[in-house]
Amino acid sequence: FTTPIRMATHARLDREKDTEQFNAVGKKLGQEFDDLYIGLVDPAKGNAGFYPGIFELIQAIPGDVKVGALTNAAVAYAEAVLSANNVRDRFASVHGADDVAAAKPAPDGLLQCCSELGVAPEHAIYVGDSPSDGAAARAAGCMSLSVTWGANPAETLAANSDGMVSTVRQLRSLLCPD
């Protein structure tokens, strides 16, 4: 879900009964949350770091391989985290739920990334850590690789995943074979 939808839902508003209030409150709370969340990105405090080994993995991806990022967070958060970790220049396409037609699990964001990268969806691999990542990849026609070190256990990822990895080393061996 996008941040406005999450916030309006947590405020116990009913989308069906009062769509106007749901959308207005969701937009306001969502913006406040996103501003705070993005403002917390501070590499000096270590609160925007990658999982161990991810920076090295990104650096190991061959230069001729096109890389993009899609998150259900705000695009500004993705930009801040990538910049804080000194890898923003490696990503030719970066999007968030707030700047695509429909958030994951809809395929819109992945299709937009593929288009910007000049890569046919069937030639793209989307790596994610949630069921909505796998569902979006399937809907877009991309291959889906799920990582099990995120917030979701492997059993919830399996249904929409073409493959699963439990370590960065495994992921690197698939994305950067020698």
Tell me what pLDDT residue 45 has: 79
DSSP 91-112: -SEEE-GGGSSS-TTSSHHHHH
Model pTM above 0.85? yes
Q: For 94-139, how does the pLDDT look when each residue is reduced to its tens digit (9 = 90+)?
A: 999 999 999 999 999 999 999 999 999 999 999 999 999 999 999 9
**Secondary structure letter of residue 14 according to DSSP:** -
Give the least confident one: 45-54, 116-125, 147-156. Answer: 45-54
Residue 43 — very low, low, confident or very high, per pLDDT cuts 50/70/90? confident
3 vs 65, higher pLDDT: 65
Q: Is 12 left (phi over 0), alpha (psi -120 to 50) or beta?
A: left
